[in-house]
């Protein structure tokens, strides 16, 4: 499972990682900037995601749409923003490799001269519309806002969503976003992974030719992370939404990505809701039939993670019934370690995920993306086997200890989402909130 690679760092600070695979005449170009919504601050949110849009609107030497020059040669491309990083990638035929590098380097080094007030205002409106579609007007879409705001204090970098607050975006000016770009989008804060049908020496040479003239900016300031107080008890929130069925969300603050217990909590999520044999699916959906679905996940992130459980009540049932079963299963895990067979199933699923992510050289989750993930967030492109080993080494007793330490009822945030007129279906003593 070790992805073979070579790494060099250019004089301007850009990390360049190359993985050769000559099985298919394609090359993946994958660029990570170590900037996400965690690098914003209250009153100035949404900038990282806004630049995900602006980076496709043209740069100084190609001031037109970014997609056509790569799609016309048979390439695919996309980008994404998270709390912790911004990612852009292209997968192109081998003959178009230099074109992809040229396009990426031009928008890294020469985006700002082409960034006009009109482009800024247009893409800001696109983002605001995206927020309305994906959060404000989507069933259960307001829940992430309520959960993140309840899990973290207002000045914590994870308090707000990556897409940002509408008032912050409307208040921002062109000078504000240009300053944000100059701070974070430069070679010293970036990692370039190249994978596929290209010789390493050629790839390094082309990367140097296209990127070395771009100056390295000063090291970006670290995100301001306030100390988070220990939980002073469970928080119960109520959201009234345009939904058909009540849904319960439970969330806990948990250790960061790669920290102790991160892998164990990931396995616990699989053990609880991964497949029809999992504990919560079996009891809630198959046996008692009081829920239509249930899911769990360890949302691993750089500064702090969150463990989530979500379950939708079946018609005629309320969320207190679901909560009682979930609490019972978590109490059981805190008291007795899971069986070896359960842990082995969870480990097998995790192992399969590692395998699936190596099946392609590019795109989201492909080998180039994995190399960048480990380089940026672990400081080592070859960290993959060590990451995988965390799961193989997780013993049943370690899972019990992680559940007991991190998933107590008094540490959680519980959000009840109910249709209008059905507040009785919520957990008792829930406080009405409106996160719009």
| pLDDT at residue number 134 | 94
Strand pairing report for 190-196 and 15-20: parallel
Residues 6+ apart with CB under 8 A from 119: 54, 57, 58
Q: What are the angstrom distances between the C-alpha of 345 and each of 122, 268, 278, 310?
A: 48, 11, 10, 21
Distance CA(136)–CA(129), nearest Å, equals 10
Instruction: Find out whether 307 and 251 touch, Cβ atoms under 8 Å.
Output: yes
Going residue by residue through the chain (436 aa), what tens digit of pLDDT does each one get? 789 999 999 999 999 999 999 999 999 999 999 999 999 999 999 999 999 999 999 999 999 999 999 999 999 999 999 999 999 999 999 999 999 999 999 999 999 999 999 999 999 999 999 999 999 999 999 999 999 999 999 999 999 999 999 999 999 999 999 999 999 999 999 999 999 999 999 999 999 999 999 999 999 999 989 887 777 799 999 999 999 999 999 999 999 999 999 999 999 999 999 999 999 999 999 999 999 999 999 999 999 999 999 999 999 999 999 999 999 999 999 999 999 999 999 999 999 999 999 999 999 999 999 999 999 999 999 999 999 999 999 999 999 999 999 999 999 999 999 999 999 999 999 999 987 6
Q: Return the DSSP state at 39.
A: G
Strand pairing report for 26-33 and 86-93: antiparallel
Instruction: Find out whether 325 and 333 touch, Cβ atoms under 8 Å.
Output: no
Distance CA(269)–CA(251), nearest Å, equals 12
Q: What are the angstrom distances between the C-alpha of 163 and each of 38, 47, 50, 80, 226?
A: 11, 8, 8, 11, 21
The CB-based long-range contact list for 327-334 (8 Å cut-off, 24+ gap) reads 327/409, 329/272, 329/279, 329/280, 329/283, 330/403, 330/407, 330/409, 333/268, 333/271, 333/399, 333/400, 333/403, 333/404, 333/407, 334/400, 334/403, 334/404, 334/407, 334/408
Instruction: Find out whether 201 and 18 touch, Cβ atoms under 8 Å.
Output: no
Distance CA(409)–CA(257), nearest Å, equals 23
Q: What is the largest CA-CA distance in the chain?
A: 66
Q: Return the DSSP state at 85.
A: -
Distance CA(26)–CA(200), nearest Å, equals 14
Q: Return the DSSP state at 41.
A: B
Distance CA(436)–CA(422), nearest Å, equals 20
The CATH number of 6-211, from 3.20.20.70, 3.40.120.10, 3.40.190.10, 3.30.830.10, is: 3.30.830.10
Coil, strand or helix at 258 = coil
Residues 6+ apart with CB under 8 A from 141: 134, 135
| pLDDT at residue number 434 | 84
Coil, strand or helix at 30 = strand
247 forms beta bridges with 312, 417
Distance CA(68)–CA(58), nearest Å, equals 11
pTM: 0.96
Distance CA(378)–CA(258), nearest Å, equals 8
Same CATH topology for 6-211 and 235-432: the answer is: yes
| pLDDT at residue number 436 | 66
Q: At what angle do helices 319-335 and 396-406 cross, to 10 degrees?
A: 130
CATH topology of domain 235-432: Cytochrome Bc1 Complex; Chain A, domain 1 (3.30.830)
Residues 6+ apart with CB under 8 A from 362: 26, 27, 28, 29, 30, 89, 90, 91, 195, 196, 368, 369
Instruction: Find out whether 148 and 161 touch, Cβ atoms under 8 Å.
Output: yes
> In terms of Cα–Cα distance, which of 310, 315, 300, 268 is closest to 146?
310
Coil, strand or helix at 88 = strand
Distance CA(300)–CA(257), nearest Å, equals 5
Instruction: Find out whether 30 and 192 touch, Cβ atoms under 8 Å.
Output: yes
Q: Which helix H or strand E contains 82, and what residues bound it?
A: none
Residues 6+ apart with CB under 8 A from 250: 308, 309, 310, 323, 326, 412, 413, 414, 415
| pLDDT at residue number 396 | 98
> In terms of Cα–Cα distance, which of 123, 105, 99 is closest to 59?
105
* H-only helix segments in 61-142: 67-71, 97-110, 117-131
| pLDDT at residue number 435 | 73
Q: Return the DSSP state at 271.
A: H
For the chain, the domains span 6-211, 235-432
Distance CA(336)–CA(356), nearest Å, equals 32
Task: List phi, psi (to 5°) of 390.
Answer: -60, -40
> In terms of Cα–Cα distance, which of 193, 201, 207 is closest to 3?
193
């Amino acid at each position: 499972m070790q992805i073979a690679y070579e790494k060099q760092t250019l004089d301007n600070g850009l990390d360049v990682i190359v993985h050769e695979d000559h099985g298919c005449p394609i090359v993946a170009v994958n660029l990570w900037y170590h900037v996400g919504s965690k690098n914003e601050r209250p009153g100035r949110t949404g900038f990282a995601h806004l630049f995900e849009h602006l980076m496709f609107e043209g740069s100084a030497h190609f001031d037109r749409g970014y997609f056509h020059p790569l799609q016309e040669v048979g390439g695919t491309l996309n980008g994404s923003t998270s709390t912790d990083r911004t990612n852009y990638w292209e997968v192109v035929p081998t003959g178009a490799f230099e074109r992809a590098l040229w396009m990426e380097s031009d928008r890294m080094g020469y985006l700002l001269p082409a960034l006009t007030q009109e482009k800024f205002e247009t893409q800001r409106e696109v983002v605001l519309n995206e927020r309305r579609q994906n959060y404000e007007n989507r069933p259960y879409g307001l829940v992430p806002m309520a959960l993140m705001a309840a899990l973290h204090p207002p000045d914590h970098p994870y308090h707000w969503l990556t897409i940002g607050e509408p008032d912050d975006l409307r208040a921002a000016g062109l000078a504000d976003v240009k300053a944000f770009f100059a701070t974070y989008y430069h070679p010293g804060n970036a990692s370039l992974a190249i994978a596929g049908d290209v010789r390493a020496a050629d790839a390094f040479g082309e990367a140097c030719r296209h990127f070395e003239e771009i100056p390295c900016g000063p090291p970006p300031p670290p995100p301001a992370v306030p100390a988070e107080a220990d939980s002073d008890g469970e928080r119960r929130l109520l959201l009234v939404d345009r939904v058909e069925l009540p849904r319960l969300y439970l969330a806990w603050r948990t250790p960061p990505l790669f920290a102790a217990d991160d892998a164990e909590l990931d396995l616990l999520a699989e053990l609880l809701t991964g497949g029809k044999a999992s504990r919560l699916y079996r009891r809630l959906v198959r046996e008692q039939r009081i829920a239509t679905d249930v899911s769990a996940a360890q949302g691993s992130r750089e500064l702090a993670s969150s463990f989530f459980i979500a379950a939708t009540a079946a018609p005629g049932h309320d969320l207190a019934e679901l909560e009682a079963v979930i609490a019972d299963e978590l109490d059981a895990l805190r008291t007795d370690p899971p069986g070896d067979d359960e842990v082995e199933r969870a480990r097998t699923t995790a192992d399969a995920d590692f395998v699936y992510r190596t099946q392609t050289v590019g795109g989201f989750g492909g080998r180039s993306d994995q190399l960048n993930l480990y380089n940026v967030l672990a400081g080592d492109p070859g960290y993959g086997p060590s990451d995988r080993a965390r799961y193989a080494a997780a013993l049943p007793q370690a899972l019990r200890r992680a559940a007991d330490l991190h998933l107590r009822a008094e540490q959680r945030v519980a959000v009840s989402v109910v249709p209008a007129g059905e507040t009785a279906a919520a957990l008792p003593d829930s406080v009405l909130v409106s996160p719009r």
